Homo-oligomer: A and B are copies of this chain.
């Protein structure tokens, strides 16, 4: 591989994600860390990026850097990172929509080689930025507020799928009532998603814990992982720990 090609690829990654980790580039380009660091140094000398500890940032990203103070964004980023660690090479992952999942799609390691099936166009667009991830988008009626595909068409497509892991956000999670929701269509959809996957991880910021809504989606016994921004031994999570549920 020519050095200039590497530089081009690095710049493409930067333009796509606004940041890169050296470790990701090592895997992606199959060269040593020293080479990556030298590359980043050269690109930084040419004023094409900002080199930082562990990787580099896009020049243009600097200005928008502090929009990370959106509501509960920190918590969601934290959840996203924890969830990313659940996903291994070769897995088939089924995802819903929701801001937490979109955040996850931005936080995956560059070298991840997996298949993602999603009902969310926004997630699909984010995932398309990764070289080694295959993306399958499930279509159907398009829900205006939640920006996902829904309806019978989606559910019948889900029936054909056997995923290793299902990732979904939720509006409510309760120690005894499990996952609940308010919308009939979403309820059906989530049930179908869980049924199509070997394991399910619920991504849930702490303030949605302890709430119960109208419609039951699944009991805790059907869930394998609960990912929140809290520490696994947090007081608030005690009630969930009894179950056969891994808390991250």
Q: Is A238 an interface residue (CB 8 A)?
A: no
**A65-B12, A122-B125 known; A3 and B52 CB under 8 Å?**
yes
- Tell me the A132-172 residues at the B interface (CB within 8 Å): 134-144, 147, 149, 157
Q: Interface residues of A toward B: which range? A: 35 or more
Main secondary structure, interface of A, reads mixed
Interface string of A1-39 (1 = CB under 8 A from B): 011110010011001000101000000000000000000
- In this complex, what residue of B is CB-closest to A125? B121
Copies of chain A in the complex: 2
Interface with B: A53-61, A174-182, A200-208, A218-226, which one?
Answer: A53-61
> Measured between C-beta atoms, what is the minimum distance from A115 to chain B in Å?
10
Interface string of A104-129 (1 = CB under 8 A from B): 00000000000000000110110111
Q: Is A62 an interface residue (CB 8 A)?
A: yes
User: Of B8, B52, B129, B139, which one neighbours A4 at CB under 8 angstroms?
Assistant: B52
> Measured between C-beta atoms, what is the minimum distance from A2 to chain B in Å?
5
The answer to whether B124 and A52 have CB atoms under 8 Å apart is no
The answer to whether A65 and B8 have CB atoms under 8 Å apart is yes
